[in-house]
Structure 1
Amino acid sequence: MAGSSPARTAHLLALVVPVALLGGAYTSQYGFGLVPCEMCWWQRYPHFAAIGLGVLANVLPHPRARDAFAWAAAVAILASGLIGAFHAGVEYGWWQGITTCSTTQLGADPLAAILNAPLVRCDVAQWTLFGISLAGYNFLVSTGAALAIFALLTRARKGAA
């Protein structure tokens, strides 16, 4: 199963996609000053999990274990994509999102940190390309990648049967 080309591709996607998407998120944050809102962070958490699962999908010796971790990574990637869809809908005004913003950078003087923290609204896209926000791109890439991983693993399983 895992030795086949579709399974190997699925295992690699399970690792490369979350690494690339988080790399892009951190590049936009630290390289271009796009401060993430709370819902942006929500999209990152499943990708953190997917990286660990993707590593296991690529290094474990047993083929079934590799496949199981690739499936789990795909579920985590899909979860991030679905959160991205929700966030994009909030940005486009299709539905209401969360009503509070928060910061985790309090430091020694919490009041000063709160007063000086950038106000990042979840319902306003900080950046778009072709009318699609970063949350929208996360939805498209993550959902597409998760579906591709599912399809590749299914094809590998059928090929092994």
Structure 2
Amino acid sequence: MTRIGWALAAAAVTSGALLGGALAFQYIGGLHPCEMCHWQRWPHIAALVFAAGGGLALARPQPGAGQSGFTRIAAVLAGIALLMTAAIGLFHVGVEQDWWEGPTACSVIGGGQSAEDIFATVMAAPVIRCDETPWSLFGISMAGYNALISFLMGGLVLWLSMTRKR
């Protein structure tokens, strides 16, 4: 496997595992996500899309072309997406630790519904605060693990995608 292949695989496995873990905590463990938890999921989805697109392009035979620029760009974008979710996770950790203030506005749920339907949805939804830590292991929250793992793997993905084999 080429360095780009390893970079794409690392991005896909990292984002897939972290996103899958978050969804397992939500749907199996009953830990509902706050607004900032949702923010951290979007870059993981983007990294998965970039990694899948690059992987599909890498799997297509390109006679005489060697490594396509598209696969390198896809790997770089996947690495950047991992660094973005790491930054959001670090910001979330700061909110949890009261280093700075987090979002203070409510999230909008749904759309195109009547005012009564929206009110009923909001009243039925659990209130999840971004400045509380519902789960931690060794004093590190889920946002902290997302920040650490995503930063390390995002750096690795970028390094693999930017260096050339000697």
Matched, 1:113 2:121: yes
Tell me if structure 1 keeps the 8 A contact 2:90–2:144. Answer: yes
Partner of 1:104, secondary structure, is coil
Query: What is the rounded CA distance, in whole Å, between the counterparts of 1:111 and 1:143 in structure 2?
Result: 39
Query: What is the rounded CA distance, in whole Å, between the counterparts of 2:49 and 2:4 in structure 1?
Result: 18
Structure 2: give runs of 5+ residues left out of the alignment. Answer: none
Matched, 1:124 2:132: yes
Pairs aligned (count): 155
Query: What is the rounded CA distance, in whole Å, between the counterparts of 2:37 and 2:9 in structure 1?
Result: 25
Query: What is the rounded CA distance, in whole Å, between the counterparts of 2:159 and 2:110 in structure 1?
Result: 41
Tell me if structure 1 keeps the 8 A contact 2:109–2:121. Answer: no
Matched, 1:19 2:49: no
Query: What is the rounded CA distance, in whole Å, between the counterparts of 2:20 and 2:34 in structure 1?
Result: 17
CA RMSD between the two structures: 1.8
Corresponding position of 1:137 = 145
Corresponding position of 2:107 = 102
Corresponding position of 2:91 = 86
Q: TM-score, normalised by structure 2?
A: 0.86
Tell me if structure 2 keeps the 8 A contact 1:101–1:119. Answer: no
Structure 1: give runs of 5+ residues left out of the alignment. Answer: none
Measured after TM superposition, the shift of residue 7 of structure 1 is: 2.6
Matched, 1:28 2:25: yes
Identity of aligned residues (%): 41
Partner of 1:9, secondary structure, is helix
Q: List, as ranges, runs of 4+ consecutive aligned residues in structure 1 with deviation greater than 3 Å.
A: 105-108
Query: What is the rounded CA distance, in whole Å, between the counterparts of 1:84 and 1:45 in structure 2?
Result: 12
Which of the numbers 39, 47, 60 marks the counterpart of 2:36? 39
Tell me if structure 1 keeps the 8 A contact 2:109–2:122. Answer: no
